[in-house]
Chain A
Amino acid sequence: DTGVSQDPRHKITKRGQNVTFRCDPISEHNRLYWYRQTLGQGPEFLTYFQNEAQLEKSRLLSDRFSAERPKGSFSTLEIQRTEQGDSAMYLCASSLGPRTGPVYEQYFGPGTRLTVT
């Protein structure tokens, strides 16, 4: 399977606990994106990496959130001191890049559904 993979697929945690999600992009893609999606809404951009560099973070990404892509391959998203409002689907996507002009297409992984109780 050469698609984007994410682990775990589901995570239930208690408020205040820390959680970490992993994303493995399509192998030849050097851009990796994290989005968050809540019920009835479209995905919202959180952050993105080009190779190992984190180049942009949304204001949605509070200081409790941190993302890494240490070797330019897989990425992790950590949420510290989880809150009930963090309950959502966390989606990872990857694409080729950079380029000038229209951007490359992004392909999504299956997502990690987080439930904070």
Chain B
Amino acid sequence: QKEVEQNSGPLSVPEGAIASLNCTYSDRGSQSFFWYRQYSGKSPELIMSIYSNGDKEDGRFTAQLNKASQYVSLLIRDSQPSDSATYLCAVNRGDSSNTGKLIFGQGTTLQVKP
């Protein structure tokens, strides 16, 4: 079992729809959760961070965390073609030394069709 798992996709949604991206993690001690967006050939760009159970909203993006289910998701409302990218879920395991080391999933490719 991978430490952080994502469906590689592609996930295809029409423009204006809600895109839902999911991520599961294996370490129950994980404390910090991040979503990065990565356009082809570019580096990851941080779009959301979440640390507590529940929802966190930022513009068109909502991150959802459920530590009991070891599940984190990202919702993108009113999807635009410019949202087409790979979305990476990253988890910090909260080790005692608190290095901040991130464990990434393989990413989900999102395609938003006009």
Contacts and interface: CB of A to CB of B under 8 A. Distances in A.
Interface of A: 31, 33, 35, 40-45, 48, 55-56, 89, 91, 95, 97-111
Contacts of B101: 33, 45, 48, 56
Interface stretch (B10-18, B39-47, B53-61, B72-80): B39-47
A103 B43 contact: no
Contact of B32 (A55, A98, A103): A103
B25 interface: no
A41 B100 contact: no
Contacts of A56: 97, 99, 101
Contacts of A33: 100-102
B32 A102 contact: yes
A108 B44 contact: yes
A106 to B, nearest CB: 6
Interface residues of B, number: 27
Among B31, B51, B98, B100, max chain A CB count under 10 A is at B100
Kindly list the 9 A-B residue pairs having the minimum CB-CB distance in the complex, ordered from nearest.
A42-B104, A103-B100, A102-B51, A102-B32, A108-B43, A111-B43, A45-B101, A103-B92, A103-B32
B7 to A, nearest CB: 13
Contact of A103 (B4, B31, B42, B88): B31
Contacts of B44: 43, 91, 108
A48 B101 CA distance: 8
Nearest to A55: B99
A25 to B, nearest CB: 13
A42 B100 contact: no
A73 B11 CA distance: 40
